[in-house]
């Protein structure tokens, strides 16, 4: 920046996707098995390098999303999570990765009986606990992604993105409980989401019944910003960062 003759260093730019969904009331993340070195055979986030030097980063993220996860782009929340570029994180050279967070409603198993048995949706606990070993710094990225999702659930209507087009209030509560990892009182939750204007709106008279009283169906409301916000029960009194 100070001398015209000095040539700034270049880096390789990649995108990584943290795709979260809910399966059996548990938060899962999509992982793929790496087919090439480095970390061949290890689990990693879907992602890859820019296709060409002029590709937009957001476009690249969407491209990887459809390539590697075959997801409908329309109904998806996709948000930039951060940059991960520690020197040495990739043995191939200086690779800087832009991570994106995507929230998906319930989806079918992406890897149906192939040899990549370990790939596909993995419970988030296995990742956070270190039970699964991931390539690169992907555990870190996932940790950050989950934390971001937890915070976003408080002030945005993101939770409805985990659900299908219609859902019951109990479905929505399942989302909050799974992402936050804590139980909530159904009666207080019911009251809260009902009175948060624009969060959810009734969806016809259809009802869902398995056992017990059939639940009313709702649809995501017009507001994406919740006011007042949903509050996570006292995370831990007098918390430090």
Partner DNA sequence: CTAGCTTCTTGTCAAGCTGACAAAAATAGC
Partner DNA sequence: GCTATTTTTGTCAGCTTGACAAGAAGCTAG
The site for a copy of itself (CB under 8 A) is made up of 1, 4, 8-14, 36, 48-57, 80, 82-83, 85-87, 94, 96, 98, 156, 197-198, 222-225, 227-228, 231, 234-235, 237-241
Beta pairing class for 200-208 and 215-220: antiparallel
Closest CA to 101 of 159, 73, 61: 61
Backbone phi and psi for residue 192, each to the nearest 5 degrees, phi listed first: -65, -50
Which residue's CB is nearer to DNA, number 52 or number 187? Answer: 187
> What ranges make up the beta strands (E) of 66-189?
77-84, 95-103, 120-123
Q: If binding is defined by CB under 7 A, does position 169 make contact with DNA?
A: yes
β-pair partners for 167? 218
Closest CA to 91 of 158, 137, 24: 137
181 binds, among DNA, a copy of itself, none (CB under 5 to 8 A by kind): none
Closest CA to 124 of 112, 142, 101, 100: 142
Binding marks (x or -) toward DNA, 117..156, rule CB under 7 A?
----------------------------------------
Window 189-208: residues binding DNA (CB under 7 A) = 190-192, 194-195, 207
Q: Under the rule (CB under 7 A), what is the footprint of DNA? A: 168-170, 185-188, 190-192, 194-195, 207, 209-216, 228, 231, 233
């Amino acid at each position: 920046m100070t001398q015209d003759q000095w040539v700034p260093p270049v880096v390789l730019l990649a995108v990584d996707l943290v795709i979260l969904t809910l399966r059996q009331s548990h938060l899962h993340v999509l992982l793929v098995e790496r087919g090439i070195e480095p970390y061949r055979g290890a689990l990693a986030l879907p992602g890859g390098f820019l296709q060409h030097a002029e590709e937009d980063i957001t476009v690249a993220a969407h491209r990887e999303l459809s390539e590697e996860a075959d997801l409908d782009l329309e109904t998806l929340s996709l948000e930039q999570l951060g940059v991960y570029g520690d020197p040495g994180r990739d043995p191939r050279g200086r690779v800087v990765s832009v991570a994106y967070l995507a929230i998906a409603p319930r989806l079918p198993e992406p890897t149906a009986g192939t040899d990549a048995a370990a790939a596909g949706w993995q419970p988030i606990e296995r990742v956070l606990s270190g039970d699964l070993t991931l390539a690169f710094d992907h555990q870190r990225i996932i940790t950050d992604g989950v934390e971001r999702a937890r915070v976003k659930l408080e002030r945005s209507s993101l939770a409805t993105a985990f659900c299908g087009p219609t859902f019951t209030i109990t479905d929505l509560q399942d989302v909050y409980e799974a992402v936050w990892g804590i139980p909530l009182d159904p009666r207080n939750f019911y009251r809260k989401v009902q009175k948060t204007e624009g969060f959810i709106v009734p969806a016809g008279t259809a009802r869902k019944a398995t056992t017990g009283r059939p639940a009313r169906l709702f649809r995501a409301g017009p507001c994406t910003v919740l006011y007042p916000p949903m509050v996570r029960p006292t995370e831990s009194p007098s918390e430090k960062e």
